[in-house]
Structures are given as structure tokens and as C-alpha cells.
Amino acid sequence: MRHANVEYQGLVRTATADPDGRLIGDDGATLDAAAVRWLPVSDGALFGVALNYRGLLEARLPEFQASPYEKPPENPVLFIKTPNTRNAHQGAVVLPRGERLQPGPALGVVIGHRASRVSEQDALDHVRGFTVVNEFSLPEDSYYRPAIKAKCRDGFCALGPWWVDRDDIANPHDLALILTVNGVEKQRGSTADLIRPIPHLIAELSEFMTLNEGDVLITGTPPGRVDVREGDQVDITIEGIGTLSNTIVTDHGGEAK
């Protein structure tokens, strides 16, 4: 089942999609999708993993084998998307003045139960479901130390519009991710190419920090990031989950809305 958080007629509601695609509120009433403001699917912490796609890591191996790295990373390269980055379906994303902006299609794993030092075998028992994430970033110079300035601008992590129950996704390690800009495909990947699968990531992270209900693990972005410009509509589709849409706007010096 697909679930969403929305604002409707001035109230924050939870909603589901019925088999006919209608949006059903938590009181059983059908909601007018055109009058809904979509909200992020979760308000938990956002944990990202860089370099978790084979093609991306392989493309950078010559760089990592040179000074100062000497070898590719042996452990997950982690980063955090801070609360100010949280954005939603149909939300605007601000292009900072004088900067390049790149979307990042990713599968998001929504934690459903507290996870502390769990085994890989038990890791998926702690998952509520899966969502679409657009992990926006300025181009990065260092994958070993993802920069806060590049990753943590206002509105730089869109989530949604849905999260889908864990058991409704037969194999989260075989899902196509497609990025389109103004309707033109610009990037494509598959979770089959994840270096560290979801249970491995949950086990590694929960070994040294507790994952709580509502936290979202961003499993990585496939190779081929592209630049976007003011006015672009950026859509990310993950099969079986849905399409997340955002529009790029100009920085006028105010907050991202």
C-alpha cells in the first residue's frame, strides 16, 4: 500500500492511495488531489551513503588510488542531510546564486522499528517501507568528506510523495531509478548495482548508532549526475513506488519554500 502525508483544507492528514489511484484520507473520505499540499513522508533523521553504486565507484578508482587517498574507501562513506534540507513532492528547490545544482535519485529506506546493533539477517524486520528521494547537491570535490555546504542547503532533500509498505516491494535490490528533466531522461540506474545492500547498511550503521522509527536511509545515487537550471522540472521515478517531482527556482535571497 502507498502512504502519504498531506495538508488538506488546513489540516495535516495521513492518506493512502486506493487501487483506482484515488487519495483516501485517514477518515475514509476521498481527497481532491489537486487541493492537496504534499508533505515529506517522514520527519526522522536523514542518513546518506555516498559511493554506493558500482559504476560510480569504478569511475573514480584512478583518483582514489592516487594521493592523498591511496586506496578506495573500505567502509560506507556517510553523510547527514540536516532538517532544513527536508522537502516534499511538488516542492521548489532553490538554485543558489553562482552555483551548479545536481539532483540525486535514490531509494529511501524508512525505518519502522528502533534498530540498535541488529544483524543483517534481521535488518529488514526494522524497515517500515521504501520511498523516493531526490538528494540534491552542489558538485562535490571530495567523496571521502561530503561537504556540508554542498549537501545541506535549504530544501536539498525531497522525499515522497509516497512510502510503500516493505512487503509490497518484492525485491528492493532490483528497482529501476529514472531521472527526467523537463520530460527528457537524463539518468538511469538500478538498485541491483548497490555495493552495500540494504541489510548490510542497516547492520553497519546500527552497530555504532541507533536508528529510530521514521529515520530514512538514503542508499546512494547512481553515476551520471547532471546539472539543472532555473525553471526545470525534475522527476524521479522508482518502479513500484512512484514519481517525485520538484521545480528549480531562482535564489531571491529568501528561504526555500
Residue 208 in grid coordinates: 555504532
Length of the chain: 257
Sheet holding 184-190, edge to edge: 92-95, 242-250, 233-238, 176-181, 184-190
Q: Residue by residue, what is the 3-state secondary structure of 183-226? A: CEEEEEEEHHHECCCHHHHHHHHHHHCCECCCCEEECCCCCCCC
Give the pLDDT confidence score for residue 146 in this predicted structure.
Answer: 57
Residue 159 in grid coordinates: 522525499
Kindly list the domain boundaries of the chain, sorted by start residue: 1-39, 44-250
Give the pLDDT confidence score for residue 256 in this predicted structure.
Answer: 44
Q: Does domain 1-39 have CATH number 2.30.30.370?
A: yes
Backbone torsions φ then ψ of 198, nearest 5 degrees: -55, -50
What is the mean pLDDT for each group of 10 consecutive residues in the chain (257 residues)? 94 92 92 94 93 69 60 73 97 95 97 96 97 93 70 96 96 97 97 94 95 96 93 97 96 56
Give the pLDDT confidence score for residue 62 in this predicted structure.
Answer: 58
CATH number of 44-250: 3.90.850.10
What's the whole-model pTM score? 0.91
Round to whole Å and give the CA distance between 7 and 37.
Answer: 5
Backbone torsions φ then ψ of 112, nearest 5 degrees: -110, -25
Distances from the Cα of 101 to the Cα of 85, 177, 219, 250, angstroms: 14, 19, 20, 11
Give the pLDDT confidence score for residue 255 in this predicted structure.
Answer: 47
Nearest CA-CA partner of 105 in 205, 242, 256 = 242
Residue 246 in grid coordinates: 520538484
Round to whole Å and give the CA distance between 12 and 36.
Answer: 10
